[in-house]
Structure 1
Amino acid sequence: MRPRQSRRHGAAVTVAATLAALGAGQILGTPTASAAASHSPTPSSAVASAQDRAARAIAGSLSDTGWRARLRAAALASDEVPVTRLAGGALKPALTAADHRIATAKGLDGQVGSLLRLRLGDDSMRPALTAGRTPWVAAATSDDDATTVTAYDSRGRAHSLDAHKAPTHPVYVVDIDGDQALAAGLRVLGTELHRLGVASAAPAPTTAQQRTGKPAGRPAPATAGFWTTRISAVELSDDEEPWIKGDAEIYTLVTGFGQDGKVRVDPVDMPYLDNDGTVYRPNQILVNWSNYKYDLADAVMMEEDGSTNYRDLAKAIATVLLTIADQGGYVPLVNAVLDAIPDDWWTDDPDYVDSWYTLARSDNGTRHGARGNGWMTVEPYFVQQF
C-alpha cells in the first residue's frame, strides 16, 4: 500500500488530432463484432482494460506541448490529478467513456462521479519530470505478483518496465480514486444486501444494566446506549509491492446473526489503513453488539483494489448466507463469506486480506488474523446515548 498525499488540480487541453491518429475504436473502446459476441469481461479485466485505454489516450495527448506543461505542473503539485475533469477536446470524452466503463464494472453506475486519477509513478522521477522530459503513461496494476509494466509514449509505442524497480524515465500512472470508489461501493453493498434480505431489525438502544446484567447499585438514571467492540490498534503485514501499484483501500465485513435470527453483514470502512507495516490507533468501532443476537461475530477484512464489483459481491454473499439458519447457537460465518466470493476474483490479486473468527463482546486484547496477515487490539466500549 502507498501513502496518500495532497490533491490539487491543473488545466484542460485539446488533442483531437492525436486521438484521431491513435484511432477512435482504440481510444473510445468501440467494440468489434467479435468482442460483442464474447461473454462479459470480469470486473478485474474490464477495469484494467479501461485504465489501459485511458493511459494510451493520455500518452498520445502529451504531444501537445501546452497540455503537457499544464499536466506536468499539476502532477508535480499533487499526488493525484483528477485528469478527466482537467481534460478538454477529444481527450475528455475518451476519459469520460473510460470512467463510465469502470463505474459499470464496479457496480457503481449512477452512484459515483469521475474515478480516474493520474499520479507520478515514484518520487525519484520528479527531477526528470521537472526538467521537461516527456513522461510515459501506464495503467496501475492490482497484481502484487506482476513482474513487468507496460507504459506508452506520446508516439504510441509500448515500453516494458520492471514492476519492482522504478525506471529513471518519468511515468504517469493512471489509477482510480480508491477513497471515492470504496465509499460509494460500501453504500451500494449495504443497499443491495438489505434489498436481498441480508439484514436484521433496526437496533434498539439498551441500558448499561440490560447489557451487562449487573444491578444498578445506588439509585441513578439508567444510561441509554449500546456495547461495541472498538479497535484501539491495528497493523497489516509489510509486503513488497510493485512501484506502480496504488493505495489499497481496506474495509471489513462484520457478520453474525441479527436480533431477528437472520444472518446480517455490516460493512465497515477503514480509510486510514494506508500502509503495511504501520501500527494505526484509530479507536474505531468495529462491532455494534446491539445489532446481533449473540455476543459473537466474525470479521472478514477485504481490499478495494479497483476490480471489486459491489453489486456482484452483495449477490454472491446473499446467495450463500441466506441458506444459513439460526440453530440456537452461534455458527462462524467467515468460511461462508469467503466461499461466496467469485472464483475469478482470486485469479491474480485476491481481495481477501485476513479474517477474525468468533470475536466476542468481552474480547479485550490483541487478536491475530487467521491468515497471519494482520492483528487488531480490541476492547469493549459502551456508547452512551443522551
Structure 2
Amino acid sequence: MRPRHLRRRGALAVAATTLAVLCAGQSLGAPQAAAAPATAVPAPASPASEVHAAEDLAARAIAGALSDPVWNTRVRRAALASDEVAVTALADGTLRSTLAAADRRIAAAKGLDAGVGPLLRLRLGDPSMRGALTAGTPPWVAAATSDDGPVTAYDSEGRIHTLDAREAPAHPVYVVDLDGSRALAAGLDVLNEELARRGVRSTAPTARRTPLRDASATAAAAGFWTTRVAAVSLSDDQEPWIKGDAEIYTLVTGFGHDGKVRVDPVDMPYLDSDGVVYRPQQILVNWSSYKYDLADAVMMEDDGGTNYRDLAKAIAAVLLTVTDQGAYIPLVNAVLDAVPDDWWTDDPDYVDSWYTLARTDNGTRHGARGNGWMTLEPYFVQEL
C-alpha cells in the first residue's frame, strides 16, 4: 500500500491532455469531417511487469522441459541440494537460449548493465515440499509474483494450476525468481552512478575530524565519525510463500558540504527475514560526508521490479529542488514523494523511515512507520 501522505498526481495533466485532444479535432468555422476512430496507445510496461513477464516465460519453458527425464532429474537433484539454483547455467540447448534471453530482458527492465550476468534462479517453493519431490511427485513451476494475488503454476504438459499465495500447497513447486543479492548490489551501483551524474551526491566527501563532546580522547586522532547499526529488526508482515528472502537497502539522505542534498544507498543483504534480530555492526552514516550532524534514512525492499536508473532520475528531479536554508531540513518525505505513483503497488516496497538521525544517537530508534527498529551507536573510524 502507498503511504497515505504521498499524494497522487496527474489529474490536471490528464484533464489538460483531454482538452487539447478535443480542441485539436475542431476548427472554428470549418466543416466537420467524420472523426477517425481513435487508436488507443498502450502504456509502456512497468519494470515490475516486464520482470514478471520474463520470469513467467522462463517458468513455462522450464516446466515444458521437465517432460525430459534427464532434465527433470538434473533439476530435482539441484533443487534438493541447494536453496537456489543458477538455472540458466544448468540448462542447455534451446532452453538455455530461452533463459539467457529472459535474463537479458530482466537486466534491461531493471536498468542494469548487460554484464551483470545471469539473474534467474530456481528454488523449491517451501521446505515442506521436499518429501513429495524426493518421492518423485512431478513438480510444477511458477514465477515469483510481485503481489499477493493467486499464483500461476505450470506442469510439464502446459496445464495451468492456480495456487493460494498465502498457503503453500502440498504439491512440490519450483519457483523461478531472481538472484536478489546480485541484482540489488548491481542496482545500487547504478543508483550511485546515476545520482552522481545528476548532481545529487557529493563528489568528494571531506573527512571531519571534530570529535564528539564525550570523546575528547580522539581529538588528536585522524579519522571520522559514523553511526553504526548494532542491531536491527523488521516486523513480521507475513510474506507469501512464493516470495523469497527480502532484499533490503536504505537510502541515507542529508546535505553535503557543498550545501546540496546527497543520497547514499546502503545495502543490507543480511536482512532476509522479518521478525529476526540481526546484529550486523554495519556503518549506516558516514558523517564526514555531511554538512550537518543530522541525516534521514528511508528503508526500502526490492521485490524484483525496480529500475534503478528510473529511481535515480525520479529522486534527483525532486531533491535537486531542495536547497540548504542554513539549518537541517528532514528529507524523508521528499524521497518518498519522488517515487512515481505507479511504483507503490509492490515494487519497490517502502519498509520504514527514520527522521533526523543524529551523530550522537546511542540507543534504539523505532521507524516512523512502526515496521522496524534499529539500535544505533556512534563509531569512530580511525585512519591507519
TM-score > 0.5 by shorter chain = yes
Q: In the alignment, which residue of structure 2 is the partner of 1:162?
A: 164
Q: Which runs of 5+ in 1 are unaligned?
A: 1-36
Check if 1:277 corresponds to 2:268: no
Whether the 8 Å contact between 1:201 and 1:260 is mirrored in structure 2 is: no
Shift of 1:213: 6.4
Q: In the alignment, which residue of structure 2 is the partner of 1:189?
A: 191
Shift of 1:350: 5.0
Shift of 1:354: 0.3
Shift of 1:205: 2.8
Q: In the alignment, which residue of structure 1 is the partner of 2:300?
A: 302
Matches within 5 A, 1:245-256: 245-256=243-254
Q: In the alignment, which residue of structure 1 is the partner of 2:70?
A: 66
Q: In the alignment, which residue of structure 2 is the partner of 1:287?
A: 285
Whether the 8 Å contact between 1:201 and 1:258 is mirrored in structure 2 is: no
* d(CA) in 1 for partners of 2:346, 2:223: 44
Whether the 8 Å contact between 1:100 and 1:109 is mirrored in structure 2 is: no
CA deviation string 1:61-115 (max 9, x = no partner): 0000111011110010001000001111110111011111110110003241000
The letter for the 2-side match of 1:372 is G
State which of 56, 60, 74 in structure 2 corresponds to 1:52. Answer: 56
Shift of 1:203: 2.0
Q: CA RMSD in A?
A: 1.8
* d(CA) in 2 for partners of 1:354, 1:78: 32
Whether the 8 Å contact between 1:233 and 1:376 is mirrored in structure 2 is: yes
The letter for the 2-side match of 1:93 is S
Check if 1:171 corresponds to 2:173: yes
Shift of 1:221: 8.8
State which of 262, 285, 292 in structure 2 corresponds to 1:264. Answer: 262
Shift of 1:304: 1.3
SS, match of residue 241 in structure 1: coil
* d(CA) in 2 for partners of 1:337, 1:106: 19
| Change in CA separation of 1:215 and 1:275 when aligned onto 2, cut-off 3 Å | closer
The letter for the 1-side match of 2:66 is L
State which of 83, 87, 92 in structure 2 corresponds to 1:79. Answer: 83
Check if 1:343 corresponds to 2:345: no
State which of 377, 380, 383 in structure 1 corresponds to 2:381. Answer: 383
Q: Any runs of at least 4 consecutive aligned residues in structure 1 with deviations exceeding 4 A, and if so which?
A: 213-217
Matches within 5 A, 1:113-128: 113-128=117-132
Shift of 1:165: 1.5
Larger CA deviation: 42-51 vs 220-229: 220-229
| Change in CA separation of 1:221 and 1:161 when aligned onto 2, cut-off 3 Å | closer
State which of 229, 235, 238 in structure 1 corresponds to 2:227. Answer: 229
SS, match of residue 133 in structure 1: coil
Shift of 1:214: 8.1
Identity %: 74
Number of residue equivalences: 345
The letter for the 2-side match of 1:150 is T
Q: Which runs of 5+ in 2 are unaligned?
A: 1-40
SS, match of residue 64 in structure 2: helix
Whether the 8 Å contact between 2:208 and 2:287 is mirrored in structure 1 is: no
The letter for the 1-side match of 2:283 is I
Matches within 5 A, 1:100-111: 100-111=104-115
Query: What's the TM-score once normalised by structure 1's chain length?
Result: 0.86
SS, match of residue 312 in structure 1: helix
Check if 1:241 corresponds to 2:239: yes
Check if 1:96 corresponds to 2:94: no
Whether the 8 Å contact between 1:111 and 1:184 is mirrored in structure 2 is: no
| Change in CA separation of 1:265 and 1:245 when aligned onto 2, cut-off 3 Å | same
| Change in CA separation of 1:284 and 1:70 when aligned onto 2, cut-off 3 Å | same
SS, match of residue 90 in structure 1: helix
| Change in CA separation of 1:228 and 1:243 when aligned onto 2, cut-off 3 Å | same
Shift of 1:142: 2.6
Whether the 8 Å contact between 1:201 and 1:259 is mirrored in structure 2 is: no
Shift of 1:348: 3.9
The letter for the 1-side match of 2:77 is A
State which of 324, 327, 331 in structure 2 corresponds to 1:326. Answer: 324
Query: Higher Cα Rg: structure 1 or 2?
Result: 2
SS, match of residue 93 in structure 2: coil
Q: In the alignment, which residue of structure 1 is the partner of 2:9?
A: none
Q: In the alignment, which residue of structure 2 is the partner of 1:135?
A: 139
The letter for the 2-side match of 1:47 is V
* d(CA) in 1 for partners of 2:312, 2:372: 25
Check if 1:211 corresponds to 2:211: yes
CA deviation string 1:35-57 (max 9, x = no partner): xx733210110011110110000
SS, match of residue 211 in structure 2: helix
* d(CA) in 1 for partners of 2:214, 2:162: 67
| Change in CA separation of 1:332 and 1:111 when aligned onto 2, cut-off 3 Å | farther
Shift of 1:347: 2.2
SS, match of residue 254 in structure 2: strand
* d(CA) in 1 for partners of 2:104, 2:50: 11
SS, match of residue 324 in structure 2: coil
